[in-house]
Structure 1
Amino acid sequence: MKRLNLLEETRYEKLPVTVFENKEIASRKVAERIAAIIRRKQEAGEMAVLGLATGATPIGVYEELVRMHKEEGLSFQNVITFNLDEYYPMKPKSVQSYVYFMKEHLFDHVDIKKENINIPDGTLPKDEIHDYCLRYEQKITDAGGLDFQVLGIGRTGHIGFNEPGSAPNSGTRLVTLDDLTRRDASRDFGGKENVPTKAITMGIGTIFKAREIVLMAWSGKKAPIIKKAVEGSMSSDVPATFLQNSENVEFVLDKDAASELTRFDTPWLVKDCQWEPALVKKAVIWLSKTVNKPILKLTDEDYNNHGMAQLAVDQGPAYDINIHIFNKIQHTITGWPGGKPNADDSQRPERAEPAKKRVIIFSPHPDDDVISMGGTFIRLVDQGHDVHVAYQTSGNTAIWDHDVLRYVEFTIDFKESIGEDTTRLRETYERMRVFLETKEPNQLDLKEILDVKGFIRKSEAIAGARYAGLEDDHIHFQNLPFYERGKTEKNPDTEDDIVLTMELLQKVKPHQVFAAGDFADPHGTHIKCFNIVHEALVRLRKTEKWTKDCWLWLYRGAWHEFETHEIEMAVPLSPQEVERKRMAIFQHQSQKDTPVFPGEDQREFWVRAEERNRETALNYHDLGLAEYEAMEAFVRWKFD
C-alpha cells in the first residue's frame, strides 16, 4: 500500500526523484555512491570512470570525497575522470576555467593521476576542435564508458552546456551559450561582456551512455526548471527533459529545488492531505486563480473538480471555507505597519502596543531598504515610530569604474576652488586611472577605488534615508567585515559580523526588525545578511528580556515577491506613496538607468519595484478584495 501511495504522489514525475532535507545531506549521499563505485572497482582491479560537472552544485560532493580521501583512505589511483565542458576560448590557469575549478575543489586534494584527468581544452585553434571532440568521445569509449555521470542543471534547462535546441543524440562539440547562461555567469567574469560566448561540451547522447546518471539541484532558484525537466513534455527547449528517456537517471534535490513539483506544491492533486490551516489557505487561493473566480464565488463543484473534495467534505460547505479564508487574507492588510494605536489588534498583523515602536530596518545593500519596502519605511516614520536603518554592507562592487574617476575629479576641482593643495589627491587619482585602464575582468580593485565606490553608495543611502524622514543619527553603516573578506576568501567567517549586529540591536532594543528574506540564492549577500541578523537575535533571546517583545519581519527585493498565501502583512500604498517611494529610490543615482549587476531583468530597479507592488495588489483584488494602487508584502519569522 505504501508503494502504491508513493506512485500516486509521483504520478506527474516522469523520472525518479529523491528529495533530501538539505544540500549537505544530499551531497553526502551522492559522494557515498561515487565512493562505493570506486571501491568496488578497486576490489575488481578495474578503473572507475567518472563524468564530472562544475559549478556551485557539485562542490559539496567534491568536499565529501576529499574528506573521505583524507580521513577514510579513499584512493583515486584507479579513477579516470572526464569533465562535461569548458568555456571557449579559455586558458586553463584562468580562475574562471573549469581546470582551475576542478583542481581547487577536488584534484589538488586527492591522489588521482594527472594522466587520468580529462577536461575539454579551451585553448585549441577553432579548426582543430571538431577532430579533438571526436577523440574525446573515443577516449571515453576506450576507457570503458562512464560508470557514473554527475550533472547540474542551468536555468535554461541545459545539462553540460547543451543549451535549448540541442539534439538528444548530440556528441561532444563546440556550442554557443544561451544569453541567460552568460548572464548567470557574469559575476564570475566581472560582467556579461567578459563571459565567453562559446563552450566545448559533451553531448546529450554522450551523457546518455553513462551507466548511472545523477542530476543534482539545490535551492528555490532551480525549482521552476526542475519542474519542467521532471514533469514537462520532452522538448529541445528544455534539454534536461531528454533524460526522461534514460533508464539510468535519478534527480537528487533538496526540498527547495523540489518545491514546485506537484506532490509538494499542490499535493491535493495527487494524495489525501492533512488539511492544516496554511495548506487550506494556499489551496483556496490556488483554486481561485485556477478557475478565475474571486474566493467568495467558489462552489462545491469547483472544489470537487480540482482535487479538493476531501476539504469540502471535512471543513465545508465551500462557502464556509471561502468566508474563513477571505477573512484571513483581509486581515493581512493594514495601513499601520507598526500597529494601530488604541485599536483591537486581535485580527491585525501587528500589535497595537507600544503605540510608538523602536524599529530597525536591515538593508543588505545600500538601496534594498527603499527598493523593497520604501513605502512602509516612509509610513513608519510618518506614523511617529522611532525608525533606524542599518546598511549591512558597502555595496561597493556595484559602481561603474568610470564613476570613480568622475567623483574624484569633482573632489579635486572642489578642493582647488577653495584653495586646498591637491598634490597627493592628484597622485592617487593618476594611480587609479592607470589601474582602471589595464584592469582585468573580475580583478580586485585598489583599496582607494573600493573606498570611493563605498563613499558613493554611502552618500546615496544617506540621501535616501533622509528622504524617508530619518535624522542622521538613526542611519547606521555597519560595513560588515564578511563582505570585504568575501572578495578574497571562500565562505568568510561571520562571527565579528554577528557581534557588530548584536551591539546595534542592544543599543536600539527594537520592537520590530525588518530584514531581507531573499533565500533563493544560497550564496547571495541577502541570505548571508539575514543569517547574521537571525543569529544575533537568537543569541540575544537567551539573555535579553526585550527580545521577547521583538518581532522579525521579512521583506523581499526587486526580483521576487512572497506568494500570496505566504503573506502575513500587506501594506497598501496610495498613488502618492508610490511616487514618494520612487523618489527615495531615485536618490541612488549610481543604480539608475544601467546598474552594474542588473540580473536577468533589464528593467530599472524602481520599475521592477513598482510593477511587483502593483502585481501584489492585483493578486489581492483578483481574490475579491479591495483594489489598491500597490502593496508591499511581509512575512513574520517565527523563532523556535
Structure 2
Amino acid sequence: MARIMVFSPHPDDGVIGCGGSIINHVKKGDDVTIVYMTSGDAGSLRVSKKALGRIREEEAKNAGRILGVKELVFLRNPDGYLEYKKDNFVNIISLIRRKKPNLVYIPHKDESHRDHTKTFELASDAVERAGCLWFQECNGKPWKVDSVLCYEVWTPLRDVTYVEDITETIDRKLAAIIEHKSQIQNHRYDEAAKSLNKYRGIMMGKGGYSECFQILKTNRVKKKKQQRSTKKKRPASHLPRLSSYGILEYFSVVERH
C-alpha cells in the first residue's frame, strides 16, 4: 500500500487534474489524502465569501466520497491571495511528516492561475524541506517523499513524462467534478476534463481516456538513469515500467533529460 497526497489549490482542481488517478489509487488500497490550499471562497459574484467557502468545502466532501477518499484537509488560505510564507510552510511540512506520503501530486509550474503556481512553489519546496533535519518548528520527524508528479488544470502540460490510463474510472471522475455544482454553473469543467483526457488518451497512443503528468521528482527515475548511464540507450518502448504507483509508461522524455 502506498501513501498518496494531493495538493489542490481550490476544491475542484485536484479532481480535475488527477481525479482518475486518485480513484485508481483507492482501488488498489492506497491511502489518499487531499489537501485544499484554499476553500475557493472567491469563486462567485453572487454568493458571499463566507457562505461560498462553506458550500465549496461541502462540495469537496461530496466529491471525495465519490473518489473514495476519506481524509480531506482544508488549510483555508484566502482564495486568490495564496502566499509563499512561513506559516504555510510549517503547516505543509508538518502534514507531510505526519502522513509520510510516498507520492505527491501538485499543479505544474506553468499553470496560468496564480494560486496554482503558488501551490506548486509551496508544495514542491515543502516536499524537499520535509526531509531535512532542520525546521524544528515543524512537527514530526524528517520524511523524504519518493516521487512528485505535476498535473494539468488550466494550462495543458507541454512536456509529458507520465501517463495514467483512466478509461475505467473516467465516469466516476466526471461524477466527482459535477459535485462542484457552484462552479460548473458557469464553466463546464466536467466537459473540459473529459475532452482533455480523451485527447490525451488518443495522442499518447493509449486510446480511451488518460491523465498526463510531468515528473518533478522521483528517486526511482534517478536510479534508473544512473544504471543506464553506463549502458547503451534502449528504445523508448523498452523503458522500464514503474508500476508501484499505477504509472503506465516511462517516456523517452525522461531518457533525454
- TM-score, normalising length: structure 1: 0.32
Flag the 1:528–1:383 CA change in 2: closer, same or farther, 3 A.
same
1:373-430 deviation per Cα after TM superposition (whole angstroms, max 9, x unaligned): 11111111111001111111111111241xx3xxxxxxxxxxxxxxxxxxxxxxxxxx
Query: What is the 5 A alignment of 1:146-545?
Result: 356-401=1-46, 404=47, 449-471=48-70, 474-480=71-77, 483=78, 486=81, 492=83, 494-521=85-112, 524-543=114-133
SS in structure 2 of the partner of residue 478 of structure 1: strand
Which residue matches 2:136? Answer: none
Flag the 1:492–1:610 CA change in 2: closer, same or farther, 3 A.
closer
> Is structure 2 residue 227 aligned with structure 1 residue 605?
no
Which residue matches 1:446? Answer: none
Flag the 1:457–1:517 CA change in 2: closer, same or farther, 3 A.
same
> Is structure 2 residue 215 aligned with structure 1 residue 570?
no
Flag the 1:616–1:542 CA change in 2: closer, same or farther, 3 A.
same
Structure 2: how far apart are the matches of 1:634 and 1:506? Answer: 24
CA contact (8 A) 2:130 2:143 kept: no
CA contact (8 A) 1:516 1:530 kept: yes
How far apart are residue 630 of structure 1 and its match? 0.9
Structure with the larger RCO, 1 or 2 (CA within 8 Å, 6+ apart): 2
SS in structure 2 of the partner of residue 552 of structure 1: strand
> Is structure 2 residue 192 aligned with structure 1 residue 635?
no
Deviating above 6 A after TM superposition, structure 1's stretches of 4 or more consecutive aligned residues are none
1:310-366 deviation per Cα after TM superposition (whole angstroms, max 9, x unaligned): xxxxxxxxxxxxxxxxxxxxxxxxxxxxxxxxxxxxxxxxxxxxxx11110111110
Structure 1: how far apart are the matches of 2:37 and 2:83? Answer: 15
How far apart are residue 631 of structure 1 and its match? 0.6
Flag the 1:518–1:605 CA change in 2: closer, same or farther, 3 A.
farther
Equivalent AA in structure 2 for residue 571 of structure 1:
E
1:56-92 deviation per Cα after TM superposition (whole angstroms, max 9, x unaligned): xxxxxxxxxxxxxxxxxxxxxxxxxxxxxxxxxxxxx
Equivalent AA in structure 2 for residue 590 of structure 1:
S
Equivalent AA in structure 2 for residue 593 of structure 1:
Q
SS in structure 2 of the partner of residue 583 of structure 1: helix
C-alpha root-mean-square deviation of aligned residues, in Å? 2.1
Equivalent AA in structure 2 for residue 632 of structure 1:
E
Which residue matches 1:219? Answer: none
Equivalent AA in structure 1 for residue 3 of structure 2:
R
Query: What is the 5 A alignment of 1:109-128?
Result: none
SS in structure 1 of the partner of residue 155 of structure 2: coil
Structure 1: how far apart are the matches of 2:207 and 2:88? Answer: 39
Equivalent AA in structure 2 for residue 453 of structure 1:
L
SS in structure 1 of the partner of residue 40 of structure 2: coil
- Which has the larger helix fraction? 1
Equivalent AA in structure 2 for residue 620 of structure 1:
M
Equivalent AA in structure 2 for residue 475 of structure 1:
L
Structure with bigger gyration radius: 1
- Which has the larger strand fraction? 2
Which residue matches 2:174? Answer: 582
Structure 2: how far apart are the matches of 1:501 and 1:378? Answer: 23
Flag the 1:500–1:586 CA change in 2: closer, same or farther, 3 A.
same
Which residue matches 1:546? Answer: 143
SS in structure 2 of the partner of residue 638 of structure 1: strand
Which residue matches 1:561? Answer: 156
How far apart are residue 518 of structure 1 and its match? 4.6
CA contact (8 A) 2:12 2:180 kept: yes
Unmatched 5+ stretches in structure 2? 134-140, 223-257
How far apart are residue 550 of structure 1 and its match? 2.4
Flag the 1:501–1:367 CA change in 2: closer, same or farther, 3 A.
same
SS in structure 1 of the partner of residue 195 of structure 2: helix
CA contact (8 A) 2:198 2:209 kept: yes
CA contact (8 A) 2:170 2:209 kept: yes
CA contact (8 A) 1:366 1:461 kept: yes
Which residue matches 2:201? Answer: 617
Flag the 1:492–1:469 CA change in 2: closer, same or farther, 3 A.
closer
How far apart are residue 492 of structure 1 and its match? 4.8
